[in-house]
Amino acid sequence: MTTQPSGIEDWLRDILRCPRCRSELVDGTGPDGGTELVCTSPECALAYRVDDGIPVLLVDEARETRA
């Protein structure tokens, strides 16, 4: 059992998807240096924060990564 840089275990990471578009999520770093999961869909491109290894997959609290 291994974990990703986000602190999320591999088995969980394999099933997590963006709640808006259902695309895969990849590790990222937010503007404040915090860990986040970023949607791989260029149309969606939301970033979800990770608090103490727990992803907060709420669309209303996600950060837009597109300019």
CATH number at residue 48: 2.20.25
Average of pLDDT values for 7-15? 85
Domain that holds residue 34: 10-64
Query: What is the maximum alpha-carbon separation in the chain?
Result: 37
Q: Is the dihedral of CA 52, 57, 25, 46 positive or negative?
A: negative
Instruction: Write the pLDDT tens digit of every residue in 16-65.
Output: 999 999 999 999 999 999 999 999 999 999 999 999 889 999 999 999 99
Residue 21: inside a domain: yes
Residue 4 domain flag? no
What whole-number distance in Å separates Cα of residue 60 and Cα of residue 63? 9
Single pTM value for the model: 0.86
Give residues with Cβ within 8 angstroms of 9, minimum separation 6: 1, 2, 3
Helix, strand and coil in the chain, % to nearest 5: 15, 35, 50
